[in-house]
Structure 1
Amino acid sequence: MVRKKVMAMVLAAVVSVSALAGCGNTAANSDQGAADTGTGEAAAASNESGDESKENITVSMFLQDSADQAISTDLPIIKEITKRTGVNFEFVPAPNTEDQFREKFNVTVASGDIPDIMVSTYRDDMMKVAEQGTFAVLNDYIDQYAPNLKKILDENPEYIRDLRASDGNIYFMPFIGAVRTFKVWMLRGDWLEKLGLDVPVTLDDWYNVLKAFKEQDPNGNGEADEIPYTTRNTQAGVLAFMEAFGISGFEANEQFFIEDGKVKYAYTDPRCKDALEFINKLYNEGLIDPEYATNDTNVWLSRLTNEISGSCQDTTARAYALGTQVASANEGSDAYFVVVAPPKGPDGTQMTTSQMQPVRGYTAISADSPYIKEIVQLFDYFYSEEGSLLMNFGIEGETYTMENGVPTYTDIIAKDEQGRSILSMLNIYGHREWAYKQDIGYEDALLDKTYVDYRNEMEEYIRPTIPALSFTEDEREVINSTYTEIQTYKDEMINKFIMGKEPLDNFDKFVQTLKDMGIDDVLAVEQAAYDRYIR
């Protein structure tokens, strides 16, 4: 899916002769290694002709599109990329919803007509396809043609572990995020002031604050209509309280966690029962949203903007925006949200596993593409200082200017007349999240200083989650044949425990059923993959 253009190619081959630590065999280390990876000979040939003039190329790229603006070669940032690199694009856009994106990804792979470049945030999907031989092994190409990425990987070897497949090879160039903090705890600061309440610290404090929000009419309408805590994250939104009991599990990728070198499952841990008792108490007393299991973003937002709810767990950016949204919807309102530390549990535990992983996206190259080297060079440019500015801030003089050495978004991006966000405006200009390294300044520009400080302060409470693991085909078969059914049963029972439809006296029976369904087999697979990861 490539076609040549008749112009001189701008990309020049950049050769780095040192080996990439942990990236498997290289041509310098082993002739057999080059044969095994299928890249040694191709990389050497590319190196020999690297300084020669090349024709412009057009590459096809499969990627998740933005709801703000359909991807197009006419968008300013895309045009600027082509201008600087000589690489033209044929985009194969995929839907921006998870289910539809993954369906199109699978259909595209099954067709055998693989675009030159495929971009996805779904690691296991990409790993499975890579190990079937669909994507090019990039070990040697990164060594020889990606000096900027190689430097990042050398300085951050944990990124290599996240990228490495179970066969030991690297098939992807990563999108690397800048911020760790993800979801934070927030409350209406003006409600706390009105009711003379301190910021809650312990679970008991949270119970008392939510009780006051429920009973003391903080919205001032004279009605007992408050729903103190709401969520748009369905079950996960109320299971956030689990963390005060020392276990993670309220997000799908955190239900397995590491403790003393062992992989554990949150819902068979005895502490889960203690957490459910507390959450059930909140539910029974009307302190958490009775419709948490079905809420979507619109319902959640209406609870907050209509001043029915005054607390939730969500992103720092949401905390920043919510005060303005609530105040705008209610004349004379002085609404604002404060971000607070995670609730401290009975044994003093105060932590969160909610975090954004450094490696958040995966860019792969078709094994059949004739332009593997050139595509590696293209994306390596985005890890350079100049390329990073383009990917994070756009086009100098148009979407940003340099002020005292700091890139600063122009009004066309930061102060859109239609009220669209900075991220939305960048997407409209052609920004997309493929392989590059995010700049912290990009994130900071989305918030004012108070909320940047909130976000940074919350990092001290983050506890590492289980890393991104790579599974063999046999291990995937165990997970695929067992875990979906376990998840369905677990979700149903957890909701029943929270809502009181199933007595918590039956928790041990619930755990035994999970074991009968094969959770121990899944744990064994996770443990084996984790043991490989840390070696």
Structure 2
Amino acid sequence: MKTSTRVWIVSILCFLLVLPLAGASAEGLRFSMAGFDGDKSSHQWETNAFFSRMEARTGIGFTFEQYTDYDKWQEAKARMFGEGPLPEVLFKAELTTPELVEYTDSGKLLDLKPLLAQNAPNLWALLQENPQWLEAITLPNGKIGALPGLNPLPPQNAMWINQKWLDKLGLAMPASAESLKAVLQAFLQGDPNQNGKRDEIPLGFLGVWDLKFLSHAFGVVVNDYNIYLDQEGQVRFWPLEDGFFEMLAYLRELQQEKLLDPNGFYLSDALRSSGEKDAPAVYGVFFGPNPLSLMGYDQARDYVLLPPLAYHGQQVYRELEGEITRGTFALTSACKDPAAMLYWVDVLYTAEGAVEAMAGTQDADYTVDADGRWNFTADLSTMGVSALNDLSVYDSGNMPWLFPLEFYNRYDQEGVVSINSQLAILKPYLRKPFPIFQFTGEQSREVLGIQNELGKMVDEGFARFVLGQRELTHESMESFRQELREHGADRMTAFWQKMATQ
């Protein structure tokens, strides 16, 4: 995989060559745009400065149909591609591979592949430099129905540990499952937050999905279908493997010793979040994209990334999201000028265009000091989050662009710099459980037909074993595995083996 530095060099060169100038040939064009801005979005596309800046640069404006409820967006897509009418542009589109295949085959979505070299030269240069990106967005039918979001350092569901607690108790960073258990025991018993109460939660998590990321401490990383591809090219259904039993036994011990969050199988992320600025820290270790997703900055700065735990001397960790986010931008058959719209979106695949999309206009919206560090001109502590909500739309939903990582890392906020430097520690250990693939509509229906029942059975069994609601013995595990086979485990394995062979 290419380094982020090389990506940025290519991006900057592309910008110097072909970044569109304001008011170029598309002057005065207006298009209809629809999309999903994310469930937690507070943006208003009609008034957001991102679209105003893009119009000033390209001469292209929009009428908007914006959604902030995922289910309603799914309903809207079905209506648009059913009885219609189709918008011209889908932005932050959340288009799945089966949708892209179906609608490019029917002609309702345009095949963008033959249009990119001429009309989106910045993106095309990136795809030529990184052929794995081009492969990832090319559909099984050979077409490109949607453009991607590109991020050299994508979000991960990492493990974060309270370094302040480690220091307070004189503990070393855990390096294996057993040393992690010892640290969690010390967190529970040692009152590291110094409030005189045993209110510490040694290991915080949200459901089975989070806990499965601990599979790395037992030598494997698995996808959401509980599948991984071994070094010999054989597909393994993890619940049928010895490591699954080993991990459940480990978690059962943590549960019995009160080292797991007692509400971990029941809480939502919103309820888990700590909203009190001065409240004492309660989490020793937790899963998440970064500490700021769970707590305020004052607490978050005490946490550092927990490097992958070693298993027989090997360290691996599941790569949650690759550098590619697919399905973010598409043009429909209703689009009156595809070339103009590709010209518009191509700005976002340049260094300058992406920086402007994130932070606005230099000097007006942000300033850069002599050391290259930047900050917003507004006092965000007094203006609140509404100032950022009106400035950009990058922080919710999935937009088409090349994330400006180098610029982002120069933000004059030590917490941001620290988090990204911590996440970079994970990069050498990240492994995909299964190679990049795209389902056809038929394949998607087949695997979901198995997963809807089998996946639920795995997760429910996982939770019951950990909670002690089902006895965990070799005999009970074999009985559980037989139940899984009866509900499609072998069919699931065969499906993925066929995918691997293809």
Distance, in Å, in 1 between the alignment partners of 2:416 and 2:37 is 28
Instruction: Indicate the residue corresponding to 2:34 in structure 1.
Output: 62
Instruction: Indicate the residue corresponding to 1:409 in structure 2.
Output: 375
CA shift digits 1:467-491 (9 cap, x unpaired): 4422233322312322211122121
Of residues 159, 181, 189, the one that matches 1:185 is 159
Of residues 424, 436, 459, the one that matches 2:427 is 459
Note if 1:315 corresponds to 2:289.
Answer: yes
Of residues 349, 352, 367, the one that matches 2:314 is 349
How far residue 317 of structure 1 moved from its aligned partner, in angstroms, is: 4.9
CA shift digits 1:205-246 (9 cap, x unpaired): 111111111122223333333321112x32222232221112
Instruction: Indicate the residue corresponding to 1:368 in structure 2.
Output: 334
Three-state SS of the structure 1 residue aligned to 2:136 is helix
Distance, in Å, in 2 between the alignment partners of 1:472 and 1:165 is 8
Three-state SS of the structure 2 residue aligned to 1:360 is strand
Contact 2:26 2:58 in 1 (8 A): no
> How do residues 77-476 of structure 1 correspond to structure 2 at under 5 angstroms?
77-96=50-69, 98-118=70-90, 119-121=92-94, 123-124=96-97, 126-133=99-106, 134-180=108-154, 182-231=156-205, 233-249=206-222, 252=224, 255-260=226-231, 261-302=233-274, 305-318=279-292, 322=296, 324-325=298-299, 336-345=302-311, 347-362=312-327, 363-403=329-369, 406=372, 408-412=374-378, 415-420=380-385, 425-432=387-394, 433-444=398-409, 445=411, 447-476=415-444
Three-state SS of the structure 2 residue aligned to 1:311 is strand
Instruction: Indicate the residue corresponding to 2:18 in structure 1.
Output: none
CA RMSD of the aligned region, Å? 2.9
> How do residues 462-501 of structure 1 correspond to structure 2 at under 5 angstroms?
462-501=430-469
CA shift digits 1:78-108 (9 cap, x unpaired): 1111121111111111125x44443433343
CA shift digits 1:369-391 (9 cap, x unpaired): 22222212211222234323322
Note if 1:502 corresponds to 2:470.
Answer: yes
Change (3 A) 1:108 1:281: farther
Given residue 396 of structure 1, which amino acid in structure 2 is its aligned partner?
Answer: Q
Change (3 A) 1:259 1:457: same
How far residue 193 of structure 1 moved from its aligned partner, in angstroms, is: 2.2
- TM-score normalised over the length of structure 2: 0.84
Distance, in Å, in 2 between the alignment partners of 1:472 and 1:183 is 27
How far residue 131 of structure 1 moved from its aligned partner, in angstroms, is: 4.3
CA shift digits 1:183-211 (9 cap, x unpaired): 32222222222222222111111111111
CA shift digits 1:150-180 (9 cap, x unpaired): 1100011111121111111111111111314
Distance, in Å, in 2 between the alignment partners of 1:405 and 1:211 is 44
Contact 1:230 1:312 in 2 (8 A): yes
Distance, in Å, in 1 between the alignment partners of 2:192 and 2:178 is 20
- TM-score normalised over the length of structure 1: 0.79
Change (3 A) 1:435 1:400: same
Three-state SS of the structure 2 residue aligned to 1:511 is helix
Contact 2:26 2:59 in 1 (8 A): no
Deviates more, 1:100-109 or 1:288-297: 100-109
Instruction: Indicate the residue corresponding to 1:6 in structure 2.
Output: none
Distance, in Å, in 1 between the alignment partners of 2:169 and 2:105 is 61
Distance, in Å, in 1 between the alignment partners of 2:257 and 2:50 is 53
Distance, in Å, in 1 between the alignment partners of 2:155 and 2:73 is 26
How far residue 320 of structure 1 moved from its aligned partner, in angstroms, is: 9.9
Number of aligned positions between the proteins: 465
Task: With a CA cutoff of 8 Å and minimum separation of 6, indicate the structure with the bigger relative contact order.
Answer: 2
Contact 2:27 2:60 in 1 (8 A): no
Given residue 135 of structure 2, which amino acid in structure 1 is its aligned partner?
Answer: R
Distance, in Å, in 2 between the alignment partners of 1:449 and 1:316 is 12
Percent pairwise identity: 20
Unaligned runs of 5+ in 1: 1-13, 15-51, 327-334
